[in-house]
Amino acid sequence: MPIHPNTRTAVSKLAIPSPIKKYFLDEEWEIDLSNNTNPYSEKFSEYPDVHQYNLKNLYLSRISPLSVSADPSSQQYPPLTPDNILFTVGSMEGIDILLKTFCEPNKDTICILHPAFSAYEHWGLIHNLEVKNIPLVGENLNSFSLADVVKINPKMIWVCNPNNPTSTMLKRDVIEQLCVSIDGFVVVDEAYIEFTDQPSSLAYLNKYKNLIILRTFSKAWGLAGVRCGIIIADPLVIHTLRYVQLPYGVSSPTQELVNQCLSHPEKTFESWQRIKKERENMMDALSTLGAVERVFKSETNFILVVLKDSRRVIKLLKEHRIKVLDCSTSIPSSIRVSVGTEDENRKFMEVMRKASGL
């Protein structure tokens, strides 16, 4: 397979890394004495499966009822296959290799719908790219100027949807508008998509070759310590990323734990319902409190709360050894609070009531 025409010059001159190439050859051997591994150790003595076809199919089978087929417009596109998927060492690796593969250092510009997850800007700057923040505006901080993006015509635009830290979602046709309006890639980070009933952008994947979706096992799937993220994109994008990704990064224990989680998802699915119910209860309760200025309507497993005096409330929470994220630098006087267990949420709410003089 050729590589993507928009690949960085340095990458386009490379051969596929030999550990990956070897497995593409699909040869069958009875005895493998080519890897210098220890023949006397047991379970994990061999290098990990680099293709993970079964795991990819299992993931697709789990997400299709959740997001793809739930959306009637998806029916007109071909279904996704393992060739649309790359597992990564958390989404963080996905962010890093997308920039590393397609964006030319000291030359290309990326845009970020801002405020957003800070890693896009962090790795953009590491890769010596020009980073332009496009402000999210409006009541729910979920609109922006498409004209400004078109004027810049970035190599890549980063869209966190649902967004961290605002917890809100863009209208889905905005993603479609972005895909048709710029020459570069539209990366939609759906780290929190399992917590919303709004449709995913997955349905557009086979329609727009410049659309790339990021998912993770760290949030809703409860496997942050396992480190596994997912890039879903056109097969040519996925193939090209394999020239850059560190071979064998997604380890055998990681694959095993993800497999276990996807094979028995009932408890995980049940936890999503619990989290969503708790979220609604917390949003309702928070919006009645005197210390609270405003509660954003959350489509995620966290809530963005604008406070009358965030410094005072954060101090009080700290005295009760409760940690929340201070988001005041991007959204004045705001905190981001994750939806915890029922007990944790109760303790958090107690302090919030105290902060409101109750």
Ligand X SMILES: Cc1ncc(COP(=O)(O)O)c(C=O)c1O
Shorter beta-carbon distance to ligand X: residue 113 or 292: 113
Candidates 160, 174, 178, 275; binder of ligand X (CB under 6 A) is 160
**Shortest distance (Å) from residue 182 CB to ligand X:** 21
Instruction: Decide whether 3 or 231 has the Cβ nearer to ligand X.
Output: 231
Candidate segments 70-78, 88-96, 102-110, 146-154, binder of ligand X by CB under 6 A: 88-96
Residue 207 has what DSSP assignment?
Answer: T
- Quick note: the x/- pattern for ligand X over 103-142, rule CB under 6 A, is --------------x-------------------------
Would you call 206 helix, strand, or coil by DSSP?
Answer: coil
d(CA 108, CA 103) in angstroms, rounded, equals 6
Closest distance to ligand X from the beta carbon of 327 (Å)? 12
How many C-beta neighbours within 10 Å does residue 65 have? 9
Give, as ranges, the residues between 222 and 251 that touch ligand X (CB under 6 A). 224, 229
Q: Any contact of residue 216 with ligand X (CB under 6 A)?
A: yes
Q: In the structure encoding, which two tokens stand for residue 337, read together?
A: 């609070």
For 315, the 3-state DSSP assignment is helix
Two tokens, residue 172:
């889905």
How distant is the alpha carbon of residue 133 from its chain centre?
19
Give the nearest residue (CB) to ligand X: 90
348 belongs to the binding site for ligand X (CB under 6 A) = no
The binder of ligand X chosen from 136, 182, 191, 237 (CB under 6 A): 191
Q: Tell me whether the omega of the peptide bond preceding residue 165 falls within 30 degrees of 0, making it cis.
A: yes
Q: How far is CA 60 from CA 64, 66, 190, 248, in A?
A: 6, 10, 15, 21
Q: Smallest distance from the beta carbon of 114 to ligand X, in angstroms? A: 13
Cβ count within 10 A of residue 64: 15
Specify the DSSP element, H or E, that contains 134. Answer: strand 130-135
DSSP code for 143: B
CB nearer ligand X, residue 217 or residue 243: 217
Using CB under 6 A, which of 6, 67, 84, 91 touches ligand X? 91
| Strand 109-114 with 130-135, pairing | parallel
Among 50, 68, 92, 305, binds ligand X (CB under 6 A): 92
# binding residues, ligand X (CB under 6 A): 12
Nearer Cβ to ligand X (230/351): 230
Q: If binding is defined by CB under 6 A, does position 82 make contact with ligand X?
A: no
Rounded least distance, CB 216 to ligand X, Å:
3
Residue whose CB is less far from ligand X, 125 or 180: 125
Cα 332 to Cα 30, 293, 308: the distances in Å are: 64, 11, 10
Please tell me whether residue 218 binds ligand X under the rule CB under 6 A: yes
Among residues 207, 167, 205, which one has the least CA distance to residue 187? 205
| CB 19 to ligand X: min, Å | 23
What b/e string do you get for 25-55 counting C-beta neighbours within 10 Å, with b at 16 or more? eeeeeeeeeeeeeeeeeeeeeebbebebeeb
Q: Is 220 in the site for ligand X (CB under 6 A)?
A: no
Residue 189 CB, shortest distance to ligand X, in Å, is 5
> Which segment (46-54, 201-209, 216-224, 245-253) binds ligand X by CB under 6 A?
216-224
Count of alpha carbons within 13 angstroms of residue 308, beta-carbon side: 9
Residues at the interface with ligand X (CB under 6 A): 90-92, 117, 160, 164, 189, 191, 216, 218, 224, 229
